[in-house]
């Protein structure tokens, strides 16, 4: 599986791409929000010749990530092989050339901190000279460096014989691939379609970078939904009275509040 990830998510050395050789919300919030997307995808399929299309919902979190699916009318968080409902959003590279994702990456982070990348969602879609990026660069143990011709933020491994640079989208792609694998193992079928939640404050560049992360691992990202909007949809607020709603997101990496103006089922953050 990891070899497939590495083939899809290249790293760069200098200016050339090369393959890298392997290795919070409630279930309602990250699953009911993509129910309509699943219905739309299935509406184009023949009811007599094709099975329903599985659409997963992914919360690509700063600290932890989760994946869910709608079963009938019930949202369900999918567990990994160890029974965990969330996966640390951590990716590590080892001297031997292996890629570790989630808990295995977290467990070895103390002894390999310079090559263990976490909280990279904060960097996605940002330039290297961005004020927030420069602030984070002083606080994390791994190297944040310029990436590509556009001066984006990149993440560099420190192995002398194979220093590689990854974009935050590529690191996010490893986590999304893990979410996809968890879903496929749980559902017993291939999964191609997904809805991913993002913070309301994400700009167009950050949203596109998140979508790119999914596409890198073979996902058709049907929608990128604001996290507060997903929360409101989960609790059916759009089907009730119009009004102004405050949504608190007590995340592992950030604590946000968003104000939603709901009118005729339309959400404006």
Of the candidates 24, 54, 59, 152, the residue annotated as catalytic is 59
Of the candidates 24, 80, 180, 227, the residue annotated as catalytic is 227
Nearest to 90 by CA among 59, 127, 68, 115: 115
For Cα atoms 93, 99, 104, give the angle at the middle one, nearest 5 degrees: 90
H/E stretch holding 214: helix 204-216
HSE, CB side, 13 Å, CA atoms: give it for residue 83. 0
| Cα–Cα distance for residue pair 219/222, rounded to 1 Å | 9
Of the candidates 54, 121, 180, 211, the residue annotated as catalytic is 121
Can you state the angle between helices 168-187 and 204-216, rounded to 10 degrees? 50
Q: Is 227 annotated as catalytic?
A: yes
Of the candidates 24, 54, 80, 249, the residue annotated as catalytic is 249
In the block, tokens 């369900």 appear at: 76
| Cα–Cα distance for residue pair 55/52, rounded to 1 Å | 9
| Cα–Cα distance for residue pair 15/164, rounded to 1 Å | 11
Q: Is 59 annotated as catalytic?
A: yes
Active site residues: 59, 121, 227, 249
């Amino acid at each position: 599986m990891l070899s497939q990830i590495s083939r899809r998510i290249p790293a760069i050395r200098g200016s050339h791409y090369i393959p890298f050789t392997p290795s919070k919300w409630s279930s309602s919030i990250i699953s009911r929000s993509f129910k309509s997307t699943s219905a739309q995808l299935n509406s184009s399929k023949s009811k007599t010749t094709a099975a329903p299309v599985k659409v997963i919902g992914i919360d690509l979190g700063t600290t932890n990530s989760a994946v869910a699916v709608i079963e009938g009318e019930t949202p369900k968080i999918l567990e990994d092989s160890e029974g965990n409902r969330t996966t640390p959003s951590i990716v590590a590279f080892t001297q031997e050339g292996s890629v570790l994702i989630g808990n295995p990456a977290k467990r070895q982070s103390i002894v390999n901190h310079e090559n263990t990348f976490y909280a990279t969602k904060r960097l996605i879609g940002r330039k290297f000279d961005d004020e927030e990026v420069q602030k984070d660069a002083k606080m994390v143990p791994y190297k944040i460096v310029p990436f590509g011709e556009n001066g984006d933020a990149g993440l560099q491994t420190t192995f002398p014989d194979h220093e590689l640079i990854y974009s935050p989208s590529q690191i996010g792609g490893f986590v999304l691939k893990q979410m996809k694998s968890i879903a496929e193992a749980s559902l017993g079928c291939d999964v191609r379609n997904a809805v991913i939640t993002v913070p309301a404050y994400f700009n167009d560049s950050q949203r596109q970078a998140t979508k790119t992360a999914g596409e890198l691992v073979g996902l058709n990202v049907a929608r990128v939904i604001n996290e507060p909007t997903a929360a409101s949809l989960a609790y059916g607020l759009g089907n009730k009275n119009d009004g102004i709603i405050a949504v608190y997101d007590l995340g592992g990496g950030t604590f946000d509040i968003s104000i939603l103006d709901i009118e005729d089922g339309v959400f404006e953050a």
